[in-house]
């Protein structure tokens, strides 16, 4: 273990308590993030909530700059909201779908997104079409190209699915969207913080992300990117006095920037914490983070493959920090419970979260999800596989 990893673990109180392989659920926050949140809450208690926000005005505004430099856009293209789902919804429900429009998506789509497609299709008469996976399990860019026609209004893609290590070719999909002149919405919830992301390179119009997963921010934080040139075309489904101005008794004017997708009241403490988490990641460097996560996850996959009855379920050629597997004759929930007892955190991905993909692969029982971060170690992976082998064999 390098000196730097030792320092990063020292700065992560949770590393002294548990082996945390649930980073795709919520990562362990580093101390500077926790401290920033608690200090702000304390100031709210001491001097008042409005007054504390005014005192930290520059820090709070700086969160937009931190996000903008993380993903390569400008600060007026960012909305900070309460989670990634709401960020995604605000973009998706702003798109004026009509009868006959087509939404193209992938097999690994997240349940919340797919439920929204179904609701909008029911309301408007649009249709959703699922692009099949290629031989490796990623969205087939060839099939996507073939599916492009006049009716396509939106390509909506999940970058990294919730249930496995697959990384979809976002930039290639972005090229197809650009060539066809259709909107491209990217759900980057699981990729943000583990994979370097540049929205100009990917060429998406909209992107949603969460704070609590690989970014190591607090729960209940998320953000939305919307490219400047399409902002005027997207009227948010909800407006308030922050997103718009009541400019006359019978008039209102929607804000010009991406904050039209926000609402007025917010959790300033966690917003500040999100900013600190992003600065923390940026200081380490996303390229280095991605390189280490990839190495640890590959190590975990190859060790799992040696265990009796274990099948690694990750798809794709490029694989990220999410490692999914099943154990013959054992329920994922039972594996999770037994690992809990050994103070090892994993989670279970049930079929209904990514219904199409899991059904296609016959994974109705769900899978165990062990998601690693850069602060995890080879020793922890060793402990994990040792405990798992005991669970399997005893
Ligand atoms: C976790 C997740 C979400 C939802 O994020 P929230 O912050 O809980 O709203 C959306 N999409 C994917 C792919 C996810 O894994």
What does the pLDDT look like over 228-237, one tens digit per residue? 999 999 999 9
Residue 156: which of 206, 202, 203 has the closest Cα?
206
Residues 6+ apart with CB under 8 A from 286: 70, 193, 195, 196, 197
Residues 6+ apart with CB under 8 A from 210: 83, 84, 189, 192, 221, 222
**Which stretches of the chain are assigned E, i.e. beta strand?**
19-20, 78-81, 102-106, 127-131, 152-158, 183-187, 206-210, 222-226, 244-248, 251-254, 310-312, 322-327, 344-345, 347-349, 367-371
Atom of ligand 1 nearest to the CA of 161: 13
Tokens of 211: 């704070």
- Say if ligand 1 is within 6 A of residue 210 CB: yes
- Say if ligand 1 is within 6 A of residue 354 CB: no
User: Is residue 241 helix, strand or coil?
Assistant: coil
Nearest CA to ligand 1 atom 11: 189
- Say if ligand 1 is within 6 A of residue 27 CB: no
- Give distance in angstroms: CA of 249 to centre of ligand 1: 39
pLDDT tens digit at each of 394 positions of the chain: 687 999 999 999 999 999 999 999 999 999 999 999 999 999 999 999 999 999 999 999 999 999 999 999 999 999 999 999 999 999 999 999 999 999 999 999 999 999 999 999 999 999 999 999 999 999 999 999 999 999 999 999 999 999 999 999 999 999 999 999 999 999 999 999 999 999 999 999 999 999 999 999 999 999 999 999 999 999 999 999 999 999 999 999 999 999 999 999 999 999 999 999 999 999 999 999 999 999 999 999 999 999 999 999 999 999 999 999 999 999 999 999 999 999 999 999 999 999 999 999 999 999 999 999 999 999 999 999 999 999 998 7
What are the Cα distances from residue 74, in Å, to 126, 184, 258, 351? 32, 18, 10, 38
Q: Which pLDDT score, from 0 to 100, does residue 394 have?
A: 78
First to last CA, the chain: 31
Nearest CA to ligand 1 atom 1: 189
Atom of ligand 1 nearest to the CA of 158: 13
- Give distance in angstroms: CA of 158 to centre of ligand 1: 10
Q: Which pLDDT score, from 0 to 100, does residue 1 have?
A: 60
CB of 319 closer than 8 Å to CB of 167: yes
Which mutation among 189, 193, 322 tests ligand 1's pocket best, with the greatest number of atoms within 8 A of CB?
189
- Say if ligand 1 is within 6 A of residue 158 CB: yes
Atom of ligand 1 nearest to the CA of 86: 9
Atom of ligand 1 nearest to the CA of 211: 7
- Give distance in angstroms: CA of 84 to centre of ligand 1: 6
- Say if ligand 1 is within 6 A of residue 114 CB: no
- Give distance in angstroms: CA of 112 to centre of ligand 1: 8
- Give distance in angstroms: CA of 247 to centre of ligand 1: 36
pTM of the predicted model over 0.85:
yes
In the chain, the domains with their CATH numbers are 2-29+286-392 (3.90.1150.10), 32-283 (3.40.640.10)
Residue 175: which of 208, 151, 141 has the closest Cα?
141
- Say if ligand 1 is within 6 A of residue 85 CB: yes
379: buried, middle or exposed (CB in 10 Å: 19+, 13-18, 0-12)? Answer: exposed
Nearest CA to ligand 1 atom 5: 84
Q: What is the pLDDT of residues 114-156, one digit of tens each?
A: 999 999 999 999 999 999 999 999 999 999 999 999 999 999 9
- Give distance in angstroms: CA of 194 to centre of ligand 1: 15
Question: Which residue reads 């919730």 in tokens?
Answer: 162
What sign has the CA pseudo-torsion 237, 243, 249, 250? Answer: negative
Question: Which residue reads 């992560």 in tokens?
Answer: 12
CA–CA gap between residue 99 and residue 110 (Å, rounded)? 24
- Give distance in angstroms: CA of 358 to centre of ligand 1: 17
Tokens of 266: 């917010």
């Amino acid at each position: 273990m390098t000196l730097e990893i030792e320092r990063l673990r020292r700065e992560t109180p949770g590393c002294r308590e548990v082996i945390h392989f649930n980073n795709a659920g919520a990562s362990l926050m580093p101390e500077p993030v926790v401290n920033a949140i608690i200090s702000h809450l304390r100031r709210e208690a001491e001097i008042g909530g409005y007054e504390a926000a005014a005192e930290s005005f520059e820090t709070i505004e700086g969160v937009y700059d931190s996000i903008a430099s993380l993903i390569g856009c400008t600060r007026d293209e960012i909305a900070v909201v309460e989670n990634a789902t709401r960020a995604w919804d605000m973009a998706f429900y702003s798109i004026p779908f009509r009868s006959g429009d087509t939404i193209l998506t992938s097999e690994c789509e997240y349940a919340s997104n797919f439920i929204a497609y179904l609701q909008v299709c029911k309301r408007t008469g649009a249709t959703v079409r699922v692009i099949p996976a290629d031989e490796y399990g990623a969205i087939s860019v060839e099939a996507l190209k073939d599916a492009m026609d006049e009716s396509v209004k939106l390509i909506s893609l999940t970058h990294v699915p919730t249930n496995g290590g697959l990384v979809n070719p976002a930039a290639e999909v972005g090229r197809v969207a650009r060539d066809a002149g259709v909107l491209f919405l990217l759900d980057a919830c699981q990729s943000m913080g583990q994979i370097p992301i540049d929205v100009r390179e990917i060429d998406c119009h909209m992107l949603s992300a969460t704070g609590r997963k690989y970014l190591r921010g607090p729960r209940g934080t998320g953000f939305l990117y919307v490219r400047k040139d399409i902002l005027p075309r997207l009227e948010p489904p909800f407006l308030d006095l922050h997103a718009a101005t009541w400019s006359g008794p019978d008039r209102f004017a929607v804000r010009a920037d991406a904050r039209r997708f926000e609402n007025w009241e917010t959790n300033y403490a966690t917003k500040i914490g999100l900013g600190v988490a992003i600065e923390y990641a940026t200081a380490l460097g996303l390229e280095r983070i991605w390189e280490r996560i990839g190495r640890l996850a590959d190590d975990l996959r190859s060790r799992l493959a040696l265990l009796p009855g274990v099948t690694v379920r990750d798809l794709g050629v490029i694989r990220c920090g999410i490692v999914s597997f099943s154990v013959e004759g054992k329920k994922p929930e039972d594996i999770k419970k037994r690992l809990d007892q050994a103070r090892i955190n994993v989670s279970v991905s049930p079929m209904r979260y990514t219904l199409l993909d899991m059904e296609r692969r016959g994974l109705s029982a769900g899978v165990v999800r062990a998601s690693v971060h850069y602060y995890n170690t080879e020793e922890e992976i060793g402990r994990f596989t040792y405990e798992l082998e005991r669970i399997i064999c005893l």
